[in-house]
Amino acid sequence: MDTTLERFQADVIDASMQKPVLLDFWAPWCGPCKSLGPLLEKLETQYGGRFLLVKVNTDEQQQLAQHFRIRSIPAVFAFVGGQPVDQFQGALSEGQLREFIDRLLPDPADAEIEQAMQALERGDRDGAVALLQKVLATAPEHETARLLYAQVLLEGDPGAALAMLEALSDEAKGDPQVADLIARARQLAEEAHVPPPLELLTRIAENEGDLEARLELARHYVDQKAWAPALEQLLEIVKRDRAFGDDIGRKTMIEVFGMASAQPQLVAEWRRRLSSVLF
C-alpha cells in the first residue's frame, strides 16, 4: 500500500504492532527503485502476509521524506513493535532481501514452544508433547525445546529425559539449574531401571545365534525404554537372519524409531546402521 503523512500512524506504527512493516521510500524517476519495488512486492506475496510492505512516494510525500532524512533512494526502513529496528539504502539482490526480512520475522519454533507452555499450564501434557515433538522434528538442536521436553518427560520417562538433557550444549549444561535437572533425571532413570533377565543373557552368551533370546531381550529393553540396547539386539537379528520371524528384526526397529522420536540423533544413527546392513 501507499501511505501518507496522515495515514502513517495507522499504516506503519500501528500495523507494526501485529507484524513487521517494510517502509519503502521511492520515486517514479528512480532507476534502482524500479527493480527493488517489484522485488519487494513479490516477496510480500511469497511470504504469505508475514510482513507488510508500505510505500512512500518521496515526490508526493516530502514531509515524510524530510522526517526520515532521506538523502538517496531507494531507502527501506523496517518497523517492529512500533519502532524502526533496521534499514538499508540502494537496491539489494533477492537473497539479500530475504536475509533482511528473515531477521525481522519471529521464529515459528518460538511460537510453538509458547503454545506448549500454555498447554502445560492447562494440564494438557499430550498437547505439549505433540508441539515439542513438532519443533524438534524440524529443529533437533533447538535447546529451549529440548530442555522443556526433558522436563515434561522427567516423571514418566526419566531415561528419555536424561538423553535429551545430555544432548544439550556444554554451555547449557553449565547452568546450575540444568545441572541439577540432569542429576535428578539420572537418579530417577537408575531407580526405574530393571536389569535384563539373566536367563536371556546366558542363552545369548552360550549361543550368539539364539535369535529368539535376542528378540525377547530387545522387547525387555523396549519396555524399559532403553532404545539403544534394544536396537542393538534387533540389528543383530537382521544381520544374522533377515527372514527370522517374517523380518521381525527390521520391523521392530522401525517401531522403535517411532517410540524414540524424542531422541532424533539416536534414531538417525540407528537408521544409518540399519541402512548399511540392508543395502
Active site members: 30, 33
Cβ neighbours for 166, distance < 8 A, ≥ 6 positions apart: 173, 182
Residue ranges of alpha helices (H) inside 74-174 are 94-104, 108-121, 125-138, 143-153, 158-166, 170-173
Torsion sign, CA atoms 231, 237, 238, 243: negative
**Max CA distance (Å), the chain:** 90
151: exposed, middle or buried (C-beta count within 10 Å: 0-12, 13-18, 19+)? middle
Q: Which three cell numbers stand for residue 171?
A: 554451555
Calpha distance 5→66 (Å, rounded): 11
Calpha distance 62→65 (Å, rounded): 5
Calpha distance 95→271 (Å, rounded): 35
Calpha distance 171→46 (Å, rounded): 37
Cβ neighbours for 263, distance < 8 A, ≥ 6 positions apart: 160, 163, 164, 167, 227
Q: Which three cell numbers stand for residue 213?
A: 533370546
Calpha distance 39→96 (Å, rounded): 11
Calpha distance 71→244 (Å, rounded): 77
